[in-house]
A and B are shown apart, each in its own frame.
Chain A
């Protein structure tokens, strides 16, 4: 399995080497890849049905951290794998015609393949970290897909929006995963199942689910993060069809379904999902019918459908989970179909404006039939798969055994409203462009390629097949999906006919009201503008404003601290140190001064001290360079005397020689420069003086404090005692330099050499600029 996933990525990159020719004929054969994978996953269906053994493929990755590349196939992941590869195969086929004129078609297929691999990895992973990795990979690859039209500014912008919103969610998701790991000690989803009570009784439980929700809601475009999805419609239509019907946005649904058995506590988890999902489905459905761009209508109806899924997972009863599983499949079938139909219409007529399009059935008969089937499925007309799912969606809310009387009314009303609007939206896209009078300008459009309409026909056939014989889908996969979410064998089954009851009445009402709404609301640009003006207080705008302000803040912050003046950097660092260390020092340390074994005080030491202090004062306040340098020499030589007094002849000699050379150097270089200019004003001087004096006092106090404690002499003792025995030397300092720590000394000589070469190259090799000046 690991090999399979990895080879998808390798093939993805290999596609880059295919040269796009004039009509790019051979790209249609790439659909063999997802189709082959589809067949491969189909073979697991019998094994899933028996449900006796777990299909786990173990691969070690970083065993010491508990991170593995384990893959696991159960009902849920198999349904998603089949959707990803199945719809993927159709999209690959479709895009080979749709994108055939694009000069970068090889890149397109590369991104698409990487995205498919990432999605497969995401749904198959059994390890939180690898799941997160694939999760991020889908965000990144979808960024490239959404922004595929790189020369369109809107396209780039919406790709960035999608990436930042889903990336933000990914960040929280990782936090949630890490917290789960710190509580349970495992990254394996398998093992988490048995730890669900441990997780739920932990006090961090609410934080974990909050972060998980943020991850899932951003990915699945739940209110208030829904705005990136309509923007992502700037992508080429095959991308929209793939990302928004079966894959990308369903990843959040997958995540919620996957973690329902682990994290669902029956209260908070479900309430939040129902509230957010309910809001999203109503808002999305309501907004969808007021759009004129076919893709916008589809975008908002997708948001609404995702809301329904979240809502159903939130309800969490057996029938609701069955409804969710079914609706995933239903929605994938009709929404992919809608998107591809939109793509064909756009391809042939070069517009997606619903106010212009009509009567296309004469020109595109096959497409029209498929569109009607998709529209009917989304409306839930009997004999389409949509009807089956609509029935059980109503079944899960209209459940007097589970809900109180009031809840049933509210929930059912919400679903009814949503479904009515969705029906209307489906009719808008599926019926309106194809019926009515054909405008003259569309008289001469040419027929679509078979590569464009064949995938839609296949999808429609499946919609009708599952609609007429629901047990095929049910026995095939849906029951296994529901089982893997519900964690026990379910008793509900999909039926075509539930008998004459209230639910059937609700379905009928939905269809009738949907048609009425369809005839009432005429798409017009005016209403679109009205809704657009509302966007100013929408979540996207709020986030934009926040983002702009963060940018502004970062800019000002950086300007303040990174202002290009060395002295302010030093000042910030020193003030910070004084603040932090000083605070700690005066709070936690009681100053002790060691007065016992101080070395005796002698007058000539005092003289040296006074000498140094006065030299330093001269350095600090002199206006003459030469005076400063000479005083620096005095400081050095006095320090040399200190070394002499305290038993460090080597240091004294070295300091003496270096001091001499330093003064020579300064004189050589500086005797030509003018004397110090007065740059600083008095105010700055006083400020710097206060800062530096307090820093000096702090250092002196710390030194005093440190002196109180005897230093560790073990190493010194070892060196001193063994100097003659091991190294045959009597000057321990020299023995340390050339013997004990010889490598250090060698590196030091290398450093010296680098300095010399640096000096040489700076002075010897002049820039062209200087040479011309001379």
Chain B
């Protein structure tokens, strides 16, 4: 299964970069989100995945008995997910603003605006 996840990371990276290379602002944003997902899975994968054992101490015990998933990457990814939402929201609003000002979704239109100012 790790191998599948490795392929998945690769595909998410490629598609993310590919979308970021488009001229459309929305595609750029989608690319960033895809890339972010790829990074999350990469971090998750790096710590070694463990099936079905959440890093939660059983109710009647004070420590772990068996194997458990690594909690650190989970904490990192959790933070990353929430931050990426804030990023997406902010980027979307910027994009919307740019769209109302230039009337197009084209990233290149921003350059022309820049020259006008």
Contact = CB atoms under 8 A, between A and B. Distances in A.
B66 to A, nearest CB: 12
A718 B5 CA distance: 28
Interface string B51-86: 111111111001110001111101101110111111
Interface in A659-700: 661-662, 665-666, 669-670, 673-674, 676-677, 679-680, 688-689, 691-693, 695-697, 699-700
A628 B34 CA distance: 12
For the side of the interface on A, what is the size category? 35 or more
A567 B20 contact: yes
Contact of B89 (A605, A643, A759): A759
Given A564-B114, A632-B30, A647-B54, A707 B93 contact: no
5 contacts: A600-B1, A643-B44, A669-B95, A676-B105, A677-B105
Contacts of A703: 6, 9-10, 42, 45-46
A628 B18 CA distance: 14
A-side interface mostly = helix
Nearest to A570: B20
Contact of A706 (B33, B46, B54): B46
Given A609-B8, A628-B27, A719-B71, 5 more contacts: A598-B1, A598-B3, A670-B26, A711-B48, A759-B90
Contact of A736 (B16, B62, B71, B111): B71
Interface string B1-38: 11111111111111111111111101110100110011
A770 interface: yes
A658 interface: yes
Contacts of A692: 13-18, 21
Contacts of A723: 57
A260 B4 CA distance: 71
Contact of A673 (B15, B26, B79, B90): B26
B23 A567 contact: yes
A762 B13 contact: no
Contacts of A571: 21
Contacts of B72: 715-716, 719, 736
Contacts of A731: 55-57
Nearest to B86: A755
For the side of the interface on B, what is the size category? 35 or more
A669 B40 CA distance: 25
Interface string A255-274: 00000000000000000000
A673 B105 contact: yes
B105 to A, nearest CB: 6
Given A599-B49, A647-B52, A699 B13 contact: yes
A599 B4 contact: no
Task: Count chain B CB atoms within 10 A of each CB in A566, A609, A691, A744 and give the residue with the most.
Answer: A566
A566 B28 contact: yes
Contacts, number: 271
Contacts of B4: 601, 605-606, 609
B79 to A, nearest CB: 6
A729 to B, nearest CB: 8
A725 B57 CA distance: 11
Contact of A713 (B30, B37, B70, B94): B70
B47 interface: yes
A613 interface: yes
Interface string A706-736: 1100110101100111011100001111001
A593 to B, nearest CB: 8
Given A679-B24, A711-B46, A613 B40 contact: no
Interface stretch (A38-46, A77-85, A745-753): A745-753
A712 to B, nearest CB: 10
A51 interface: no
Contacts of A650: 54, 74, 78
Contacts of A643: 44
Contacts of B63: 720-721, 724-725
A59 to B, nearest CB: 51
Given A609-B8, A648-B69, A693-B14, A565 B81 contact: no
A602 B49 CA distance: 14
B38 to A, nearest CB: 8
Contact of B75 (A676, A713, A733): A733
B1 A700 contact: no
Nearest to A725: B62
Interface stretch (A107-115, A227-235, A493-501, A634-642): A634-642
A737 interface: yes
Interface in A434-486: none
Contacts of A752: 82-83, 86
Contact of A620 (B19, B71, B101): B19
A749 B101 CA distance: 31
Given A567-B23, A676-B24, A721 B12 contact: no
Nearest to A748: B79
A605 B9 contact: no
B30 A662 contact: no
B30 to A, nearest CB: 6
A763 B92 CA distance: 11
Contacts of A613: 8, 11
Contact of A645 (B7, B51, B84, B106): B51
Nearest to B12: A616
B47 A732 contact: no
A665 B93 CA distance: 10
Contact of A733 (B5, B33, B64, B74): B74
A741 B48 CA distance: 22
A748 B82 contact: yes
B107 A566 contact: yes
Given A654-B81, A730-B57, A646 B69 contact: yes
Contacts of B7: 609, 700
A375 to B, nearest CB: 63
A619 interface: yes
A646 B37 CA distance: 16
